[in-house]
Amino acid sequence: MSSPVARLVTLPGFVNAHSHAFQRVLRGRAAGADFWEWRTGMLTEAERQTPESVRSLYERTYREMRAAGITAVGEFHYLGLETAWAAAEAAKAAGLAFVCLHVAYARGGTERMRQPSVTAYLQEVERLREDGVAVGLAPHSVRACPREWLVEIARFAEAEHLVLHVHAGEQPREIEECMAEHGVRPIELLAETGCLGERTTIVHATHANGAELDLLRDSGATICACPTTEADLGDGFLPAVRVRHRGIPLCIGSDSNVRIDPLEELRELEGIARRQDGRRGVFDTDALWEIGGPNGAASLGLDGPGTITVDLDHPSLHGVARVHLRAALLAGCGADVVAMA
Ligand SMILES: [Zn+2]
């Protein structure tokens, strides 16, 4: 007797524009009452990583991403050069397009994360490029990079047409420290140093104020929202409605990988907007699919999000008309509906 033929439909894939794959192991056991306490445990885990552990742990995590419909990942990588190659190999083995957002770290963190100079950092980027690894520039944050590093990195990104990703506005303390050091807020400092432009992605922007959001709108930069991680870490939530009103492009990231489910990230994003605005459909179905795929690809400098197939016979889709499929996936399904990515 032959088995019944699965009813599959092809849809655009998802792009994960912000991941720290090693943080997958922290789920469920990360202690700490706030982001800063969690970060202490995270740094301990980062210290443990070797090229061998990255090669196996990242492949496992990337396979989970692939199974969840993610076709490309931007790995925001601050574990050093040796492990960057291991991460690239892991992505290749898992069948995932990979962009190494190689991180510049001047101060703070741990020793393995830091480069002695911005020149040394840019040399690391060049080594990766020479080896055929797709790269983006990633000054970790205004916390980790002083003004002169930001200026130099922005100049290099512009000259080489590379994407630039940077954490900003995740925590109130980061903003206070930036104000104390520079007299301006983080996204204002990024604007002053030339870091904002159409190839720039600001990760989080959770606590960005109106003036900072205006700077993002005027520069054409993208915001990468990571709602499940931002919830898990008690960061707060994106000013989604104000971002939407300004027409700032959004993409999504799994960040700490506490969850690997792009449908859940998109549902959270719209859920945040609904709670803020007291109405439904702030981001319509088309907008959310753009955020989930093409916008993430553009953020990473990739051509597009590829395709996935979804199982129409999955119990979560029982009774859903084809015309409502994409909306139903966003509203009521987990990534286990993905049959093949
Ligand atoms: Zn991050």
Q: Which residues surround ligand 1, an ion (CB under 5 A)?
A: 255
CA–CA separation, 290 and 69 (whole Å): 15
Ligand 1 centroid–CA 169 distance in Å is 11
What would the pLDDT profile of 220-276 be if each residue is shown by its tens digit?
999 999 999 999 988 999 999 999 999 999 999 999 999 999 999 999 999 999 999
The pLDDT of residue 341 is 58
The pLDDT of residue 5 is 66
User: Would you call 255 a catalytic residue per the annotation?
Assistant: yes
CA–CA separation, 261 and 294 (whole Å): 17
CA–CA separation, 194 and 150 (whole Å): 8
Q: Which of 165, 232, 235, 255 is catalytic?
A: 255
Ligand 1 centroid–CA 120 distance in Å is 22
The pLDDT of residue 37 is 87
The pLDDT of residue 340 is 74
Radius of gyration of the chain (CA): 19
Ligand 1 centroid–CA 301 distance in Å is 18
Phi-psi region of 8 (alpha: psi -120 to 50; beta: other; left: phi over 0): beta
Q: For the whole model, what pTM was predicted?
A: 0.96
Ligand 1 centroid–CA 319 distance in Å is 38
Ligand 1 centroid–CA 163 distance in Å is 16
Ligand 1 centroid–CA 10 distance in Å is 31
The pLDDT of residue 30 is 61
Residue 2: Cβ within 10 Å count = 4
Decide: 73 and 302 in contact? Cβ < 8 Å.
Answer: no
> In this structure, is the dihedral angle defined by the CA atoms of residues 48, 50, 53 and 57, taken in order, positive or negative?
positive
User: Would you call 277 a catalytic residue per the annotation?
Assistant: no
Ligand 1 centroid–CA 322 distance in Å is 36
CA–CA separation, 288 and 25 (whole Å): 29
The pLDDT of residue 118 is 98
What would the pLDDT profile of 109-130 be if each residue is shown by its tens digit?
999 999 999 999 999 999 999 9
Decide: 220 and 202 in contact? Cβ < 8 Å.
Answer: no
Per-residue HEC secondary structure of the chain comes to CCCCCCCEEEEECEEEEEECHHHHHHCCCCCCCCHHHHHHHHHHHHHHCCHHHHHHHHHHHHHHHHHCCEEEEEEEECCCHHHHHHHHHHHHHHCCEEEEEEEECCCCCCHHHCCCCHHHHHHHHHHHHHCCCCEEEEECCCCCCCHHHHHHHHHHHHHHCCCEEEEECCCHHHHHHHHHHHCCCHHHHHHHCCCCCCCEEEEECCCCCHHHHHHHHHHCCEEEECHHHHHHCCCCCCCHHHHHHHCCCEEECCECCCCCCHHHHHHHHHHHHHHHHCCCCCCCHHHHHHHHCHHHHHHHCCCCCCEEEEECCCHHHCCCCHHHHHHHHHHHCCHHHEEEC
The pLDDT of residue 4 is 63
Residues of the chain short of pLDDT 50, as ranges, are 1
Q: Which of 77, 140, 167, 204 is catalytic?
A: 204
